[in-house]
Amino acid sequence: MSSFSLPEDFDLGEHFDHRTLIRAMELKPQQAVTALQVDGPRLVSRVQGTGPTAYQQHIQWVEDRRLGPKLEGRCSCPAGHNCQHVAAALMAFEAQQIRIKKGLPEKPGIATPVARPAPPPPPEMLELGALALVPVLRLTTCVDVASEALLHHRYGSAQARASTLRQGAAQLLYRYQPPVGKALDYHAPAGTATTTLAEVIDPQRPGRIVMGHFQRQSLAEAAALRSLVGELDLRPWSLSAGLAVERATRQSMLRQPAHTQAQGGPEVHSPMLLVPQRRDRWPELLAHHIPELERRGWVVEVADDFPYELHQADDWSVDIGEEPGGHWFNVGLRVTVDGEPVNLVPLLVSLVQNGWLDTEALVGRGEGSEVLVPWSVEAAPTPGTAPRQRLLRLPVARVLPLMEWLRSVFRMGERTSALRLSRFDLGTLESLEQAGRVTAPPSYTELMEQVKLLNADGGLPAIDASPNVQATLRHYQLDGLAWMDFLRRSRLGGILADDMGLGKTLQALALLQAELDAGRLDRPSLVIVPTSLIGNWETEARRFTPQLKLVVLHGAQRARHFKEIAGAHLVVTSYPLAMRDMATHGVQEWHYVMLDEAQRIKNSRSQAALSVKELNARHRLCLSGTPLENHLGELWSLIDFVCPGLLGSEAQFREHYRTPIERRQDTLRAQQLARRVKPFLLRRTKQQVARELPEKTETLLRVELTGTQRDLYETVRATMDSKLREVIAQQGLARSQIMVLDALLRLRQVCCDPRLLKTGDNADRGDAPARPHHPSAKMELLLDLLPTLVEDGRRVLLFSQFTEMLGLIELELQRLKLPYLLLTGETKDRGALVEKFQQGNTPLFLISLKAGGVGLNLTAADTVILYDPWWNPAVEQQAIDRAYRIGQDKPVFVYKLLASGTVEDKMLDLQARKAGLADSLLSGVASDAALTTQDFDELFKPLGGE
């Protein structure tokens, strides 16, 4: 049996990690090693610890089949295996060998390898069996760059020339609790060892120190190390192994099953555990991962040199001030830390800027979880130690509601202690009350009281419509009125986004009537609408709210009505004219500015959008069944009108919401956006309120003839009026019916589309219609309406008595790439078209009134459009009943397109006054009793005539 010795190329760095070697050097081996002798293949030594206790070591070479010879050092200290005492003994032994080779005198007090005194008597042994294991994570520091002097200590140099830069690190200990005495800490995994020697107190004889064997839990030790490597991404680092060995070690730990590691897997000697490449990850580990280890039974110990210091923030206070104009609040957020006041806002903003705190990372955290916020950095307490980073522990429940606001602040570049918060950002304003003790002006308190009403379980308190409104509002319309009144009380804007046909115009008029009744309508209110809806607003305002003083600004002579604006209650104009008259509207102070079909400002860079946002109004409202048609940028433009600042600038909105939602389908951002705009957007679909709707809802959609279409109508009307009066004077009205009907037909064609009107020779030959360059207001309205209905999933029947009109519509649908079916008198297989539509494959069905007015069952449709009103109400009803019939399970909505002030409009008035007039006219058998001279005068009255 050979005696214990060290090879010529022996390097302690191959057998001990960096920290152990440092601790061995700190013991000063030449003084600490009090006994040293070779006992055959073993080196037996005694080393004085840092305290009064001396420990005994037994060191020998063991053969490893994979790694070759390796040192196996057992020590009576708590570490027990290859500890700093073992390393110190080897340092002293190596130094003794070097002195002997150089012929120097041996160090007094330490036996030479030749001296072989009698071995000490074996200590008394106890069998302790299996002890309870508790993993311990000790947080400390380690040197970034190793000292060459430590690697070459054999030359007797104890001076370190290495850098003193240190970083946060962790050390894994395995703590076993014996029956009596202090807990035993072990660094390295058990490896192949099944039992370990420990110095304990004899449970039978208290106070006496004896040695004991106990079983180490190898599987549990290996699992604990895997938790740190795999879950926390901490990496073991060894002084001499280098990065390649470290990576291989880590991969081996992660890949090998636990039993393999316990039975001889790679053994890391007293490893330091580091955060690879990202030192700033320590706050995240301290805030989330390490508390999770504690919940699982781990013990976490913090050494004095650990470079992070945790502090508790308390005594939260919020200071809110209102800026001039009333649209913005400035906000300060303060806490107290160890009695010291701290302004928290700059810290949180800095955290967002550095990317350390992200909304997505906070969502889903458990109740009571915390986030760590860097507070300040203290200078290193002593040379060679790391600077101390102070961290605040903040409850996630308080930080999370502020994150969207902070993200906006960051993008705006705000870095001041008091930051601006839009009064429209109700969610963040409300969350401030949860953040701490609030000091705020009355305007904030009043706003929060209104928000509490909005969020109450019962919703907003019900209100009644003014008795001066000449209509009975349905329940959902009263709800809409209550919501708009809430916005008015709170000085907020909003978008009434009800489906088409649910009465947005009536709700808006009822709101203005209520303002008049309450005496608040001391300024005029401006309503801007598409040109085609001016007549509709005028008709409904006069019908439902006759007490409102109405001014309609339309046509070339509108300037003469400008002087009436100041004394009006309601001013109605169109988008194009509003832009032209902005010099007048811009200087007027308005009570309300309302935009009907507000999607007209969906292009935020359009002149219309830029102009209306400059109008001076107490309150702003949008009415739109389609506030979002193509992309989220359209919604931003509308919100920017009613709630400026809520969603930041367009660039900020694109970065925060539009790009993540549209391109990455970010559901979290979509939910955040929905929450922010919810208070300002009221949307009711027909399906939601169908129980309160009649089985069939009919709506007149009026258009105004303008430009050359209006001129053409007047030319045809005046010409036909002159000719007919001559004929009627000669042969009487009864005998002139055919000519009257022909004249009415021509006027109706002009109302539908001037291209239908045949002129010159082709009228006699019956050729295709002429195509003059006249606009068609009704066609423009239809082309606005159809894409919206299709996008809403509606199934539409479109009727016209003019087959040529369907042909013109067909060309436009092809241009818009909207799928459709067409049924006329020339259609051969009607049944196939009906079946195709009923199966839901095509959303639009164009039908000539004569060919499809009867005999068809089209219950898949829920919408009917009558492009040109039919004079006989029974015939119209037959067309509507293609959808509204037995088997229909959806509400049916009927839209009648009507040219205001034209023969179409006059015919409806006559229908109401004289039942059967339309039937008698179109049947060709009308008598003087059916059509009087007064009726004739009404039908052929000039546009705009009284």
Q: How far apart are CA 900 and CA 918, in angstroms?
A: 18
Q: What is the pLDDT of residue 223?
A: 86
Mean pLDDT score of the chain: 75
Which tops the pLDDT comparison, 455 or 692? 455
- One-character DSSP codes across 95-140: HHHHHHHTTPPPPTTS--SS--PPPPPPPPEEEEEE-EEEEEEEEE
- Residues 272, 18: contact at Cβ < 8 Å? yes
Average pLDDT of 309-313?
78
Name which of 280, 235, 495, 482 is nearest 377 in CA terms: 280
* Range picked from 63-72, 339-348, 555-564, 903-912 for highest mean pLDDT: 555-564
| 460 CB-side CA count, 13 A | 21
- Residues 80, 186: contact at Cβ < 8 Å? yes
Q: What is the pLDDT of residue 927?
A: 34
- Residues 558, 534: contact at Cβ < 8 Å? no
Query: Which segments of the chain belong to CATH 3.40.50.10810?
Result: 460-692
Which tops the pLDDT comparison, 426 or 880? 880
Assess whether pLDDT exceeds 80 at residue 242: no
Name which of 153, 192, 678, 692 is nearest 472 in CA terms: 692
Assess whether pLDDT exceeds 60 at residue 942: yes
Beta strands 272-274 and 235-237 are antiparallel
Roughly what angle, to the nearest 10 degrees, separates helices 737-752 and 777-791?
60
The dihedral of CA 797, 507, 538, 590: what is its sign? negative
Which tops the pLDDT comparison, 118 or 526? 526
Q: What is the pLDDT of residue 177?
A: 78
403 token code pair: 């994150």
Q: What is the pLDDT of residue 114?
A: 40
Residue 915 pLDDT grade (very low, low, confident, very high; cuts 50, 70, 90): very low
Q: How far apart are CA 853 and CA 859, in angstroms?
A: 14
Q: What is the pLDDT of residue 401?
A: 64
Q: How far apart are CA 519 and CA 755, in angstroms?
A: 50
DSSP helix/strand/coil, 136: strand
Distance of CA 14 to the CA centre of its chain: 53
Beta strands in 793-938 (DSSP E): 796-800, 821-823, 844-848, 863-866, 892-899
Average pLDDT of 88-98?
85
Q: What is the pLDDT of residue 786?
A: 93
Fill in the DSSP letter of residue 603: S
Assess whether pLDDT exceeds 90 at residue 796: yes
Assess whether pLDDT exceeds 80 at residue 665: no
Roughly what angle, to the nearest 10 degrees, separates helices 84-101 and 18-26?
70
DSSP helix/strand/coil, 428: helix
Name which of 625, 434, 594, 448 is nearest 525 in CA terms: 594
Amino acid letter, residue 894:
V
Q: How far apart are CA 122 and CA 4, in angstroms?
A: 20
Q: How far apart are CA 357 and CA 344, in angstroms?
A: 14
User: Going by CATH, does the domain composed of 777-938 fall within 3.10.510.20?
Assistant: no
Q: How far apart are CA 221 and CA 173, in angstroms?
A: 9
Residue 172 pLDDT grade (very low, low, confident, very high; cuts 50, 70, 90): confident
What percent of the chain is predicted at pLDDT more than 70? Answer: 71
Beta strands 437-439 and 314-322 are parallel
Which tops the pLDDT comparison, 27 or 781? 781
Lowest mean pLDDT among 199-213, 633-647, 726-740, 833-847: 199-213
Q: How far apart are CA 409 and CA 649, in angstroms?
A: 11
Strand partners, 129: 214
Helix (H) or strand (E) holding 75: strand 68-75
Q: How far apart are CA 393 and CA 368, in angstroms?
A: 11
- Residues 920, 902: contact at Cβ < 8 Å? no
Residue 380 CA: distances (Å) to CA of 164, 171, 470: 11, 21, 80
Lowest mean pLDDT among 326-330, 553-557, 762-766, 935-939: 762-766
CB atoms within 10 A of CB 673: 23
Name which of 262, 304, 307 is nearest 283 in CA terms: 307
- One-character DSSP codes across 5-22: ---TT--GGGTS-HHHHH
Fill in the DSSP letter of residue 884: S
The class level of CATH for 460-692 reads alpha beta
Assess whether pLDDT exceeds 80 at residue 310: no
The dihedral of CA 372, 378, 381, 387: what is its sign? positive
pTM of the model: 0.54
Average pLDDT of 383-410?
67
- Residues 261, 189: contact at Cβ < 8 Å? yes
705 token code pair: 């003839």
Residue 897 CA: distances (Å) to CA of 75, 541, 780, 800: 99, 19, 11, 11
- Residues 783, 832: contact at Cβ < 8 Å? no
DSSP helix/strand/coil, 620: strand
Query: Which segments of the chain belong to CATH 3.40.50.300?
Result: 777-938
Model pLDDT for residues 537-595, shown as the tens digit of each residue: 888 899 999 999 999 998 888 888 899 999 999 999 999 998 899 989 989 999 999 99
Model pLDDT for residues 345-387, shown as the tens digit of each residue: 777 776 666 655 555 555 555 555 677 777 766 665 555 556 6
Q: Where are the alpha helices (DSSP H) in 121-184?
A: 148-151
Residue 456: which residues within 8 A CB-CB, separation 6 or more? none
Q: What are phi and psi of 380, to 5 degrees?
A: -55, 130
Name which of 49, 25, 45 is nearest 113 in CA terms: 45
Q: What is the pLDDT of residue 936?
A: 73
Model pLDDT for residues 193-209, shown as the tens digit of each residue: 455 656 566 666 665 66
The dihedral of CA 576, 580, 582, 585: what is its sign? negative
Residue 433 pLDDT grade (very low, low, confident, very high; cuts 50, 70, 90): low
- Residues 226, 258: contact at Cβ < 8 Å? yes
DSSP helix/strand/coil, 403: helix
Q: How far apart are CA 269 and CA 639, in angstroms?
A: 63
Beta strands in 21-53 (DSSP E): 33-39, 42-48
Roughly what angle, to the nearest 10 degrees, separates helices 504-517 and 534-544?
50
The helices-and-strands tally (H runs, E runs) of the chain is: 37, 34
Q: How far apart are CA 335 and CA 314, in angstroms?
A: 6
- One-character DSSP codes across 236-289: EE-TTTHHHHHHHHHHHHHHS-HHHHHTT----SS-EEE-SS-GGGHHHIIIII
715 token code pair: 């030319």
Beta strands 328-337 and 272-274 are unpaired
Helix (H) or strand (E) holding 175: strand 166-177
Average pLDDT of 511-530?
93
Q: What distance, in Å, lies between the first and last C-alpha atoms of the chain?
A: 130
Helix (H) or strand (E) holding 622: strand 616-623
Q: How far apart are CA 557 and CA 696, in angstroms?
A: 40
Backbone dihedral region of 827: left (phi > 0), alpha (psi from -120 to 50 degrees) or beta? beta
